[in-house]
Structures are given as structure tokens and as C-alpha cells.
Amino acid sequence: MKILIVGGVAGGATAATRLRRLSEENQIIIFERSGYVSFANCGLPYHIGGTISQRDKLLLQTPQSLKSRYNLDARVRSEVVSIDRVNKSIEVKNLETGAHYTETYDKLLLSPGADPIRPAFPGVQHPKILSLRNIEDMDRIIESTKQENDFVVVGGGFIGLEVAENLIEKGKNVTLVELSPQVMAPVDIEFASFLHEKARGKGLKILLQTGVERFNATGEGLEVTLSNAQTLQAGAVILAIGVRPENTLAKAAGLAVGVTGGIEVNRYLQTSDPDIYAVGDAIEVKQLVSEQPVLIPLAWPANRQGRLVADNLLYGNTHEYQGTLGSSILKFFELSVAATGLNEKMLKKLHIPYQSIIITKGHHAGYYPGAKDMVLKVLFDPKGAILGAQAVGEEGVDKRIDIIATAMHAGLKVQDLQEIEITYAPPFNSAKDLINIAGYAAE
């Protein structure tokens, strides 16, 4: 069988290596538009700041290593420009030479990811307005940090906050502009307010409920005009106001696209064409609590789907993708903030009845030095079904949210959290953990 894969990073590379592990028989070709395959997108902000000092550490595989280890044909700087579903072929543009060629397939997998949104603000084409998606983008941002001192980051989501933090770590003067009343949409405002306060303490200026109106080129850089008529001077701007699923190829091929703009797939990750599957940021998924169609552009779903789809491509539709909870976490200077499931804003919007518990407690026994306060919120319905949770603190935030995500996956009720037997010794925990207390409080 000949399997073609569009996109060679999280979903695409995972599927390709799994396909090869399952069988040595098939011809597998990966097409990647950028100059790199299987790179660590999630690590990009940390090379900008210098925490990940070696650029090479971000390159998990190369076309050469994919060939020698997995016998995969990975073609970088190769953009798939169209799909001919009748003849089961794709048209590829070699971005080095400009030449076009076709390649036929038995099965096609789309993992083209999501593109940073660039609204049509006047002046947005300025070369110093950058965004961060791939290695090339990261190199451009690093180059700008060598020349510029004043940065404006537009957007207070994961990428905007991570880039802002890393620019501050590099000693830059950074202003972050966010249209909504809070940064970090996956958590409710009382959790985001910890981030607002931390930013102030670190000299990162955050302007909330403020939009960008336009950009003007100045002699040395840019002037950013905001919705409140204020202007900011910047050497460079990082646009991080979210991403949009890369659906152009799928749409042009007549594949069904869902209400969110994501490529529509069934539970086997098969598109409306039975020979074409799709995974990752580009697809619409079912949110596991609300059962609504959503876009959740995160690495775990892309990897999980990549592995699962390989089995379905080879053996027919044997593995179902259940849906996505949307578990996420952000490091912001010394703080961690994490969430899973739905938050209160979403529950209100969806008119889902809920109750909430908020607990503040040290992440380990208070009498052992170094205990850091953590705030945990658990949301549940009148019957006890857990709808979501959020936590903020300096230590142990990931552990608590991961336990709750596991409990949600297993269908445990909020009261069942009392029964979870945690590991305990004073440097790690309390004999009665925040998770257990949430269960007691909900009784």
C-alpha cells in the first residue's frame, strides 16, 4: 500500500513512525512545507528565551534519520497544493525549485496543523510583525531580539504568554495586549488574575480589554495604535491571537468541514472521503464533557490521533478516538496554571448547571519547608459528574489536574475523589491531599 502524509510534525510524524512499526511493507511519503520535520513546536518559546540553549535539541528527527531509522521518505520544503480524489493523487510543489509533480496514493493522511491568525489590521504586512509556529519563525524572532529592545505581544493565550515570558527573561521591554478581560482563556478570571499579578511583578505590562487598531512603520520600527487610541512604539511585534485550522486543501478537495472550520472526521478519524484520514489541529473534535464540536489545538490530541489513525489506515477502522477533554498547562515565570474539561465561562455559555469547590492549601505538608500555596477549583454537576478543574500555584499543579483528568476519563464522581489513595511523605504531599479535600467538600 502507498500512504501519503501531508504535514510532518506532531500528528504526521507520529502516524508515520507508527505505520512503519506496524508494517515494513508499505511505501510511506511525508510532505512538509517547512524546512524541518518532527520538531518540538512546544519547545520553540524556550529557545527564544535561552532555557533550551541548543537549537538542535528541538529537531527530534531529520529526513535523514527518518530514512535510516524508519525507512520513511520525508520531503521537506514540499507543499501539497491540491488533492485529486478521483484519480487518488496529490500535486506537490517543490518550494526549492518551484517544480510541480504528482504522487498517487492508496490512503492519504492530512495533518496540516493550524496557522497563526493574521487579521487584516492596516500595516500587518510589516516585516517586523512576526508569529511563532515553526523553526523558521523562531529563528526570525531570535534575530529580532538581537536588534530590538521593545516588543509588543498581541494575544494572551499560551503562545503569547510563553513568548512574552521568554522575552522578559532575555531582558526585553515587553507589553502584551489582550482584547478580553483576562489572559489564558482556558481558566476563569480569578485564576488568570494570578498571572496578571505575576506579570506586573516581572515588569511585563499587560493591557487588558485592549485591541490593536493598526500598525504604522516608523523610522526604526513600528507604532502600534490600540483601540483606546494609545500608541506603543515597538522594534518588533509578535502576533499570537490564536490559530485557525489549515483547511484550505481539504475544502478545495470537497471534503466536509465542520461548523468550527475544522476538517470533519468520524470516530475513526476518517474524513468524508473513505480513503482520506485527518488528525491534529486541523480537525474538529468532540469535547468530551459538552459533546460539542470544538477545535483543540494541543499536542496530546495530535499525538494520540496520529498513533490511532495509523492502525485504522492499515487495518481498517479498528480504533475509535473518543474525543478531547482539553487538558492544558502553562508555566508563567514561577507559576503553573492548568485546566481540564470545562471552565465556568464555558458552562454558563452552554447553560450546563454546575456547582464549584475552591480549595487553597500548601502543595505539601505545611511543617515541611518550602510548601507553596495552591488554589484548586473543581466544577461538577448536581449528580456529581466532574465537569472541569483548574489549579494555580508554584508546585504540584500538574499532578492535581492530571489526577482529575484521569478521574474524569474513568467517569469518577466528585465524591469519589475522597477515595483516591495518594502517595504521601511530607516533602511531596499532605496525607489529606487537595484532591481528597475536594471530594470531602462535595459530599
What interhelical angle do 10-22 and 299-315 show, nearest 10? 40
The dihedral through the CA atoms of 279, 281, 284, 285 has a sign that is: positive
Smallest gap from residue 432 Cβ to ligand FAD (A): 31
Distance CA(244)–CA(281), nearest Å, equals 8
Establish if 10 lies at the interface with ligand FAD (CB under 6 A). Answer: yes
Listed in sequence order, the residues at least 6 apart from 370 whose beta carbon sits closer than 8 Å to its beta carbon are 364
Phi-psi bin for 322: left (phi > 0), alpha (psi -120 to 50), beta? alpha
Smallest gap from residue 37 Cβ to ligand FAD (A): 8
To the query of whether residue 42 is one of the catalytic residues in this protein, the response is: yes
Establish if 134 lies at the interface with ligand FAD (CB under 6 A). Answer: yes
Taking CB under 6 A as the criterion, the residue among 152, 154, 159, 414 binding ligand FAD is 159
Listed in sequence order, the residues at least 6 apart from 38 whose beta carbon sits closer than 8 Å to its beta carbon are 8, 9, 13, 59, 60, 61, 66
**Residue 7 vs 235, nearer CB to ligand FAD:** 7
Total residues contacting ligand FAD by CB under 6 A comes to 34
* Of residues 63-102, those binding ligand FAD (CB under 6 A): 79-80
**Residue 12 vs 388, nearer CB to ligand FAD:** 12
Point out the residue whose Cβ comes nearest to ligand FAD.
Answer: 280
Taking CB under 6 A as the criterion, the residue among 49, 112, 160, 362 binding ligand FAD is 112
Establish if 280 lies at the interface with ligand FAD (CB under 6 A). Answer: yes
List the grid coordinates of 352.
Answer: 450546563
Smallest gap from residue 195 Cβ to ligand FAD (A): 15
User: Which helix (H) or strand (E) covers residue 398, if one does?
Assistant: helix 397-409
Smallest gap from residue 139 Cβ to ligand FAD (A): 13
| DSSP secondary structure letter of residue 56 | G
Q: 167: closest CA among 204, 220, 192? A: 204
Distance CA(21)–CA(26), nearest Å, equals 11
**Residue 113 vs 388, nearer CB to ligand FAD:** 113
Smallest gap from residue 39 Cβ to ligand FAD (A): 8
Distance CA(439)–CA(421), nearest Å, equals 12
Smallest gap from residue 324 Cβ to ligand FAD (A): 11
List the grid coordinates of 278.
Answer: 485527518
Listed in sequence order, the residues at least 6 apart from 171 whose beta carbon sits closer than 8 Å to its beta carbon are none
Residue 302-331 contact track with ligand FAD, rule CB under 6 A, x = bound:
x-----------------------------
CA R_g for the chain: 23
Cβ proximity of 397 and 329 under 8 Å: yes
**Residue 36 vs 380, nearer CB to ligand FAD:** 36
- Interior CA angle at 316 toward 305 and 282, to 5°? 30
Establish if 113 lies at the interface with ligand FAD (CB under 6 A). Answer: yes
Q: Given the residues 22, 40, 42, 76, select the one marked as catalytic.
A: 42
Distance CA(418)–CA(184), nearest Å, equals 29
**Residue 77 vs 413, nearer CB to ligand FAD:** 77
Long-range contact pairs involving 20-25 (C-beta distance under 8 Å, separation at least 24): 20/70, 20/71, 20/72, 21/70, 22/310, 22/311, 22/314, 23/314, 24/71, 25/1
Residue 24-53 contact track with ligand FAD, rule CB under 6 A, x = bound:
-------xxxx------xx-xx--------
Establish if 160 lies at the interface with ligand FAD (CB under 6 A). Answer: no
Taking CB under 6 A as the criterion, the residue among 133, 202, 286, 345 binding ligand FAD is 133
Establish if 12 lies at the interface with ligand FAD (CB under 6 A). Answer: yes
Smallest gap from residue 301 Cβ to ligand FAD (A): 7
Task: Return residues touching ligand FAD (CB under 6 A).
Answer: 6-7, 9-12, 31-34, 41-42, 44-45, 79-80, 111-113, 132-134, 158-159, 246, 249, 280-282, 297-300, 302
Residues belonging to the active site: 42
